[in-house]
Amino acid sequence: RLVESGGGSVQPGGSRRLSCSASGFSSDFLDIHSIGWYRRAPGKEREGISCIKESDGRIYYADSVKGRFTISRDNAKNTVYLQMNSLKPEDTAVYYCAAVPTVQGMCVLRPEYSDYWGQGTQVTVSA
């Protein structure tokens, strides 16, 4: 499975960087798998927030995080990152990464078709 890290507590307006490590997989894992970030807030449905496509690295953001979050990857480290800025209390959630499908040349956030889920990392935004 993928392994998330970097969660913790942060004040509103603060920043946090999450990591999604594929170190347990082959070194070309990110070359052949698109990776997505999901989150689940208390009492809410799981939400897909961003993904980065294998090979060409095309990126998608949900409206809820667009302009505040940045997804990136380091293939040499077999790791995908999620830089979260201007955090809000409503960003409080458990954040997960997973391998996501690619449809018509773009990664898509479909949890039912996602795989290699990590265990999640908690992010809490509060004063």
pLDDT digits (tens, 9 = 90+) for 48-96: 999 999 988 999 999 999 999 999 999 999 999 999 999 999 999 999 9
> pLDDT band at 27, cuts 50/70/90?
confident
Compute CA distances 50 → 20, 59, 71, 119, whole Å: 13, 7, 7, 17
Compute CA distances 78 → 45, 46, 107, 120, whole Å: 29, 25, 18, 18
How far apart are alpha carbons 56 and 111 in whole angstroms? 22
The rounded percent of the chain whose pLDDT value lies above 70 is: 100
pLDDT at 110: 95
How far apart are alpha carbons 109 and 40 in whole angstroms? 14
How far apart are alpha carbons 2 and 97 in whole angstroms? 7
Mean pLDDT of 40-48: 95
Mean pLDDT of 23-31: 89
pLDDT at 127: 93
How far apart are alpha carbons 29 and 40 in whole angstroms? 25
Q: Is pLDDT above 90 for 8?
A: yes
How far apart are alpha carbons 19 and 81 in whole angstroms? 5
